[in-house]
Amino acid sequence: MNDFELYTLTYLLAQALGVYAVYKLISAFFNERTQAKKTETIAFIGYYVLTSSVYLIINVPLINFVVNLIAFFLLTFLYSSSIRKKFFVSILTYIIQACTEMIVVSLTGYIHFPITERNNYDSVFGIVAVNVLIFAVSMAANGFKNIKKGNSFPILYWLSLLIIPLSSLVILAVLFKSQGLNSILISISIGVALLINFTVFFLYDSLAKLYQEKQAKDFIEQQNRYYENQLQIINASLEASSILRHDMKNHLHTIFTDINTGNISEAKKHISDIVDVYSARTEIIHTGYSAIDSIVNFKLQSAKQNGIKVNANSSIPPNLNFSSFDSTVILGNLLDNALQAVSLVDKNAFIDLTMHYSKGMLIIKVSNPFKNEVKIIDGTVMTSKSDKKNHGLGLRSVKEVVEKYNGTIEIKTDSNIFTITAVLYVE
């Protein structure tokens, strides 16, 4: 076996470890796959074949950079996350890979090489060391517990995190073109860049933890408001019932007198007033789940007070495995969007809510009229400029929760009636 054959065989074996390291590094950031395990395996095998072919046949650093970066970005679509996180993970993964490669390459004596010409690096030890080092970094990255959860950061957070890997990319490009630096200085510089980028894992992990704690705090405060409103509804209902029982004898006497004297319209009005007093603060819905009852009654009571007709139907069994946090996200956002939409409707405003459970499926459907144009593209609501917030707000959060239960969202518009149906698989 000649040197070229030995180097090629060693590269192919070491690259297999490198691809597994890339898999561990990318998957460290994501919580759920959107594709089957088989599809994921095929995708990473395809990445192995593609990058190995480009390296062994072309081996131009600039082309290797473009191919790897695009491949990393495409691989992130195997997992459920936002585009911003996918882009961030792609950049960071490439920087980690590039830094480890350049450290080993410079230490093995290959210091200066053009990025637009074929690379003639042929160190067998270097190829093995690069992939072992990348694998070590990927295993360390998997030790962080919160980086899988950071999907909903504000854009300013993402921009702050991206500054580090993008700046490192510039530094690496400068080092590629540097003249007069020895291998030790280059290795130290790249090592510092690698260390700085590795701290991004810590920063990301800390930000995800803090953001998660903030969301939990906001959720508790929101739930407390809903529970307080629910308590007010119950107290008001009990008070109204107590007053009616106390005054019922007088009310019945007045109604009886009106009927005997032929004043039927006055008797009807008196009965209507009694009904209004009794139902003014009664529960609109009662499922037995305090989290669901509190948020639905809070939102729909507000709608009723604004003259909006509300209709709520529920058939949910006890002991349903549906967390209060998730129910608040879904119902809160869907009802908020409905309230905002019907506030623009001139007449016949209504909100219909249906919750039904059957054979492992929880179906939540909200319908309401809307005034302005609504376009649905790839399951995403695209509203007109004056109505952008009405239905787009919060749907991303709803989608994330629904996907957590392996569910789906269906959106329909018909004769200016907007209907959104969420199907969740709940035991």
Question: By three-state DSSP, how is residue 383 classified?
Answer: strand
Confidence band for 218, pLDDT divided at 50, 70 and 90: confident
- Same domain (yes/no): 203, 314: no
Q: Verify that 41 and 154 share a domain, yes or no.
A: yes
Nearest C-alpha neighbor of 93 from the set 78, 108, 119, 75: 75
My answer on whether 18 and 135 are in the same domain is yes
**What gap in Å lies between CA 301 and CA 374, rounded to an integer?**
26
Residue 372 falls inside a structural domain: yes
pTM of structure: 0.51
Residues spanned by the domain of 379: 287-427
Looking at per-residue pLDDT, the higher value among 246 and 390 belongs to: 246
Q: Is the pLDDT of residue 384 over 60?
A: no
Pairing of strands 309-315, 350-358: parallel
Residue 196 lies in a domain: yes
**Structural domain contains residue 244:** no
b (16+ CB within 10 A) / e for 356-392: ebeeeebebbbbbbbbeebeeeeeebebeeebeebbe
Sheet holding 309-315, edge to edge: 309-315, 350-358, 361-369, 417-425, 408-414
Token pair, residue 384, equals 């007109």
Residue ending a domain, choose from 148, 182, 207: 207
Which of residues 172, 207, 242 is at a domain's end? 207
Across 374-401, average pLDDT: 59
- Predicted confidence (pLDDT) per residue in 277-329, tens digit: 555 555 688 888 877 887 888 888 878 878 899 999 999 987 788 887 788 88
| Residues in contact with 425: Cβ distance below 8 Å, sequence separation at least 6, in sequence order | 360, 361, 362, 405, 406, 407
Q: Is residue 104 part of a domain?
A: yes
What are the residues whose beta carbons fall under 8 Å from the beta carbon of 269, sequence distance 6 or more? none
Residues 169 and 291 grouped into a single domain: no
Residues 34 and 127 in one domain: yes
- Same domain? For 55 and 191 the reply is yes
Q: Are residues 323 and 174 in the same domain?
A: no
In this structure, the answer to whether residues 7 and 142 fall within a common structural domain is: yes
Q: What is the pLDDT of residue 175?
A: 65
Q: Tell me which of 182, 207, 232 is where a domain ends.
A: 207
Shared domain check, 168 and 19: yes
Q: Which residues contact 316 (CB under 8 A, 6 or more apart)?
A: 287, 288, 289, 292, 355, 356, 357, 362
Are 424 and 360 in contact, with CB atoms under 8 Å apart?
A: no
One domain, residues 186 and 50: yes
- 391 has a pLDDT exceeding 50: no
User: In this structure, which amino acid lies at residue 375?
Assistant: K
In a domain, 282, yes or no: no
Q: What is the pLDDT of residues 80-127, one digit of tens each?
A: 777 888 888 898 888 888 888 877 877 776 666 677 788 777 777 788
Three-class SS state of 185: helix
Quote the tokens at residue 72.
Answer: 């990393």
Rounded distance, CA 427 to CA 359, Å? 9
Residue with more model confidence, 209 or 336: 336
H-run or E-run covering 358 = strand 350-358
94-111 residues labelled b (16+ CB within 10 A) or e (exposed)? bbbbbbbbbbbbbbbebb
**Number of domains composing the chain:** 2
Where do we find the tokens 């990445």? 47
Residue at 382 is within a domain: yes
Q: Is residue 49 part of a domain?
A: yes
Instruction: Please give the pLDDT value at position 78.
Output: 92
User: Taking 50 as the threshold, does the pLDDT of residue 371 lie above it?
Assistant: yes
Contact between 333 and 398 (Cβ < 8 Å): yes
In a domain, 269, yes or no: no
Residue type, 307: G
Q: 408 has which bridge partners?
A: 423
Specify whether the CB–CB gap between 350 and 307 falls below 8 A.
Answer: no
Does 192 share its domain with 294? no
Shared-domain flag, residues 322 and 202: no
The CATH number for 364's domain is 3.30.565.10
